[in-house]
Amino acid sequence: MKRVVLIISLTLCVGCASANSAEPTARATPSAAPNVARSSPAEPSKRDSPPKTPAPPASTKPAPPPDPFAGATFPPADFEPPFERSAQPGDGHWEPVAEAGQVEGKPVMFRTSVRPHLFKRFAFVNVVAIDLSRTEIGLVPGTREPETKALPQSERTGLVPAALQPRLAAVFNGGFMTKHGGHGMGVGDVDLLAARDELCTIALLDDGHVKIGTWSKISTARASFRAWRQGPWCLLEDEQLNPNVTNGQRRKYGMSAEGKLEIRRSAVGVSADGGTLYYAVGEEQTPELIAKAMQVLGVPNATQLDINWSYTRFFWFGEKDGQLQVTETLLPKMKHRKTGYVSKAEPRDFFYVLRGRE
């Protein structure tokens, strides 16, 4: 019996020696048993508790889309008339157009004049600058022009859409009749007339910008075009005067019925920063003169629109006698009907300008 006890004692002492080697001065006593917390059967431990649901993140508004016209300036800066001999008071000085109205307390259009001929004072061009960051431009087919079967006649109203008329600021003419060159045109997904690669095109983009250039160069962005209209070759492209405005091809920019080149012509261009659309119409203009007028404005690209007394038009609209109608014309005696474009259908295609962007 003593032998058995001795063996057990030795075994326990080996364990004690091993424990004491870590803490030689510690002495275990019965009262020093560790105080271990025990979970009660009626109260589950924290480890078994369901995880807490994280608090939802604070609500945040989505960031506004980037401004497509950031960095653009309006109105344009005044400019010096190109020729002192033909210059007249007011040439090159921009004045706000009250008839066009305001958006966010700022005028959306300014106007001035320029004389691109060395000495002919009567060869003048009147110009309207349109703030693209505070307006929208649209294009409407006429009831007869362009000639096409791509769009049902029932959809060719020849009017500014009724829902948009409360915002209507102005309208201006489109391009040549179909029989005078077959210049292309498209609205939405419908190509009324097929585009020609060599012709200059004014394209209205989804983001509100207006692009001008030869179709073969700009059509890579076709998916972003809301509407487009072609004219003859560009007057200006990449800041360069088109040689066709001075050579034997200039007749294709149009003449009067009597074969005269010095006639009323209209044109459009866009500022280098993309924020301003210029509409210009002038008397006694050759293709070269109207191109030089656009050069004076500083636009890198410009295209001619329609020509002659009856088809060049720019009108401002407003309420008068309880009815939306033409209130002023850019040139004196511009041919129009008082409620054309808004209640009386137009046979020719045209552009319209709306106040504000939606």
CA distance 141 to 148: 10
In three-state secondary structure terms, 293 is: helix
CA distance 82 to 18: 107
What distances in angstroms separate CA 131 from CA 9, 135, 324, 352, one per listed residue?
A: 103, 6, 22, 13
* pLDDT score of 12: 33
CA distance 266 to 175: 9
* pLDDT score of 65: 81
* pLDDT score of 31: 42
- At 223, the amino acid letter reads A
List CB contacts of 157: < 8 A, sequence separation 6 or more.
Answer: 140, 143, 345
* pLDDT score of 37: 42
- What pLDDT tens digit does each residue of the chain (358 aa) get? 334 333 333 333 334 333 343 343 333 444 444 444 444 444 444 455 566 666 656 666 777 788 999 999 999 999 999 999 999 999 999 999 999 999 999 999 999 999 999 999 999 999 999 999 999 999 999 999 999 999 999 999 999 999 999 999 999 999 999 999 999 999 999 999 999 999 999 999 999 999 999 999 999 999 999 999 999 999 999 999 999 999 999 999 999 989 999 999 999 999 999 999 999 999 999 999 999 999 999 999 999 999 999 999 999 999 999 999 999 999 998 999 999 999 999 999 999 999 999 8
> What is the sign, positive or negative, of the torsion defined by CA atoms of 156, 311, 186, 338?
negative
Q: Is 220 exposed, middle or buried (0-12, 13-18, 19+ CB in 10 A)?
A: exposed
Q: Which helix (H) or strand (E) holds 292?
A: helix 287-296
Q: What is the largest CA-CA distance in the chain?
A: 145
What distances in angstroms separate CA 161 from CA 100, 130, 167, 224, one per listed residue?
A: 18, 21, 11, 21
* pLDDT score of 319: 95
List CB contacts of 147: < 8 A, sequence separation 6 or more.
Answer: 178, 179, 193
Q: Which helix (H) or strand (E) holds 213?
A: strand 210-214
